[in-house]
Amino acid sequence: MIGVLKKRKLRKQLKEYLHAARHARHMREDIADPKDLEALRIAEDAVREIRETGEGDVEKSVERLSAAADKVYPSVNTSGMRENVEVIIVALAAAMAIRAFFFQPFKIPTGSMQPTLNGITIEAQASSGFLDRQPMKFVKWLLTGESYKVVRAKASGTIQSAKSGRDVIILTIGGVAHKIPVYMVDRQWRPERNHYYKKGDAIFSCRKIAGDHILVNKMKYNFMRPERGDISVFDTKNIEHEQVRADTFYIKRMVGLSGEKIQIQKGRIVADGQIIDEPAMFEKMATDPAYHGGHGNAGRLSSPEAFIQLADDEYLMCGDNTLPGMSLDGRFFGGVRRDDFQGPAIFVYWPFRGHWGIVR
């Protein structure tokens, strides 16, 4: 009985050695020296014969096999690390495949979809508190997306100039440029030109709340037609408008379907002469004060009589926040081609605030 158990254990061990050798050969057979590969094959055959017959010098055969495998695929005592690297590579490849074909994360930087979805928002905060110091600062940000931001003077002096760009406001103090992200600054904010700043003084401070981070279903539009009311992400590469970047993505709500004639009358979307009140979100947008009276007339739909005629492969996308200047959308640049859609938003995965969960 003992002899049978020993033979079974030996066969199992030899099988593991052969598996390691086969792995080494498969990993390097396209670049390894043919002589080394042949030596490995001979060593494998010798161990395989011992495993089948139970006869031969096990120790020497295994040593010869290990040496041959190590020459083909050098381990330098890093086989464990190498296997971990391989696992990581496979995991990354799987993650990239999921991102490319199934679900992709996006973040919302602007307020064009408020109050349905939030972009980056700013609240007044003059100074930092206990929760704005490490390690609590990180915990607070991780859970709520909130973080205290302050821009301090790099030099002493008054504000010599102020320039507004697309993404930043540039203040020059003491000959040094200070950049303040536009999302941090209220539209009514004006720098105090006569105020004297000492180096290190706070020029501007606030509490920044991260925009909603969403998952987009990239598969749905491969099998189903886009539907009115979908909140969808699309590529701007084919949109021709001076204020629209060609290298970014927008997220808006689908208000017009392919082939329709779209108008805006008294805050409501009108498609081919019919007022749109389904899905229920369109009725809510027209009646709930949070949405400021529904869709406003602007851009190419600046009057109730104006219309946009969508082509057979185009859809009209509008933001839920249609206050003046808050949503650069289809009212201004027209329809979006179906091929440019990434897919509908399905879930807000961060931050863990009021919008966390399924996108509706």
Residue ranges of the domains in the chain? 2-72, 121-209, 213-358
Distance CA 295, CA 287 (A): 11
Closest CA relative to residue 68, chosen from 1, 11, 14, 17: 17
Give percent above pLDDT 90 in the chain.
Answer: 45
Least confident of 51-65, 90-104, 181-195: 90-104
Distance CA 296, CA 326 (A): 11
Beta-bridge mates of residue 249:
235
Fold type of domain 213-358? Umud Fragment, subunit A (2.10.109)
| Distance from chain centroid for Cα 273 | 38
Distance CA 86, CA 304 (A): 61
- Express each pLDDT in 119-154 by its tens digit: 988 888 888 888 888 889 999 999 999 999 888 999
pTM value?
Answer: 0.68
Distance CA 212, CA 354 (A): 10
pLDDT of residue 151: 87
Confidence category of residue 329, pLDDT binned at 50, 70, 90: very high
pLDDT of residue 238: 94
Closest CA relative to residue 233, chosen from 217, 211, 244, 210: 217
Confidence category of residue 97, pLDDT binned at 50, 70, 90: low
Q: Was domain 121-209 assigned CATH 2.40.50?
A: yes
- Express each pLDDT in 275-324 by its tens digit: 999 999 999 998 998 888 889 999 999 999 999 999 999 999 999 988 87
- Express each pLDDT in 165-218 by its tens digit: 777 888 899 999 988 887 777 655 677 778 899 999 988 888 999 999 999 999
Residue environment code for 176-195, b if the CB has 16+ CB neighbours within 10 A, otherwise e: eebebeebbbeeeeebeeee
pLDDT of residue 146: 93
Provide the 10 A C-beta neighbour count for residue 59.
8
- Express each pLDDT in 224-257 by its tens digit: 999 999 999 999 999 999 989 888 999 999 999 9
